[in-house]
Amino acid sequence: MNTPLDPLSLWTTSFVKEAILNFVADVTNEHHADFVPAADRIAVFDNDGTLWVEKPLLAELTFIKEQLQFKRGKTDGERLSFFEKLKDVCEDAAQTLLSEAKDLAEDLLDGVTIHEYEQAVKEWISQALHPRFKQPYTSLTYSPMQQVLRLFQQHQFQCFIVSGGSTDFIRPWSGPIYQIDKPNVIGSSLRTKLVEKNKRLHLEYMPIPFYFDNGAAKVRSIARLIGKQPIAAFGNSSGDIEMLRYTRQAPRSLACLIHHTDNEREYAYSPDSSLHFGKDTLEYAKEGDWEVVNMKLHWLEVFGQPQRG
């Protein structure tokens, strides 16, 4: 398979790679029993930890911390501990954390328009460097997953990001980086309000959560915003369990869990946050017949050219 024409040339030969290639070949082959028309080729991708690096701290939280530091001169201890907690947030704890976040959100977003926020994200992402790899975050997308995106896009899949991170943090760069256009980015969001200034309408953020797109909420947002059954899903954490399970219910489907097993080239950590309880994600993967990507074994490289240079 590792010929120059191999669309997954950055993947080692394995059952996982074979499963992805066979899935795409079969559902796009009109003469195959599992053929799916292009309009119904819905593929959903978690972002943090699935398409790009999420350790040591989510890029979005790093952005928020730095914005607050910039606004206030420094970040105090109480707030740092809040960000520590956020590292391991799961849906059960989200409500508490979001209420703690309220005054942070007020500091950061009071009177800020969605257009101003977009500019702030664009500026930050163009110059911020990852603390370990000393690369822009947008260079730290997983090149083997970029190959999966290209393979799917070339086969007329509609690819959506379905992220626990916020829509408005991802959209400013998802087009150039993933070739995923803004309407196809689904994530968490705050409430907004429409205000009139100088006879023009502006949307401003309110410091109130509107939707936290994680766990079962990912399935609810897929149904509400896409309205079709996904046939392929990629995730990496307990927050993706429901999305992977739901996707796997399609007659022919592909559910992939990216398992971070590579401390040398990236990070090694469990798909389960410390706050998670009950059956762990890898058990769901086994029961549900998901593909488990062992990053260390299955990926010939983790990041693209810039990181290796």
What is the CA angle 119-180-8, rounded to 5? 130
Query: Which residue, 143, 135, 131, is CA-closest to 66?
Result: 131
Angle at which helix 77-86 crosses helix 59-72, to 10 degrees, equals 170
Task: Show Cβ contacts of residue 18 under 8 Å, excluding neighbours closer than 6 positions.
Answer: 1
The residue among 25 and 195 lying less far from a second copy, judged by its C-beta, is 195
The residue among 21 and 226 lying less far from a second copy, judged by its C-beta, is 226
Least Å distance between CB 87 and a second copy? 26
The residue among 118 and 280 lying less far from a second copy, judged by its C-beta, is 118
Per the CB < 8 A criterion, the answer to whether 148 and 291 are in contact is no
The residue among 242 and 266 lying less far from a second copy, judged by its C-beta, is 242
* Neighbouring C-beta atoms of residue 158, cutoff 10 Å: 18
Least Å distance between CB 239 and a second copy? 13
Least Å distance between CB 225 and a second copy? 6
Contacts with a second copy, residue ranges (CB under 8 A): 39, 114, 158, 167-168, 171, 175, 181-185, 189, 192-194, 200-201, 203, 210, 216, 219-220, 223-228, 242, 245-246, 249
Task: State the alpha helices, DSSP H only, in the chain.
Answer: 15-27, 59-72, 77-86, 91-100, 102-109, 114-127, 143-154, 167-178, 216-225, 241-248, 281-287, 295-298, 305-308
Beta bridge partners, 257, equal 235, 292
Per the CB < 8 A criterion, the answer to whether 174 and 185 are in contact is yes
Least Å distance between CB 260 and a second copy? 26
Least Å distance between CB 10 and a second copy? 28
The residue among 229 and 294 lying less far from a second copy, judged by its C-beta, is 229
Can you tell me the distance from the alpha carbon of 221 to that of 16, in angstroms, rounded to the nearest whole number?
Answer: 28
The residue among 176 and 309 lying less far from a second copy, judged by its C-beta, is 176
Least Å distance between CB 173 and a second copy? 12
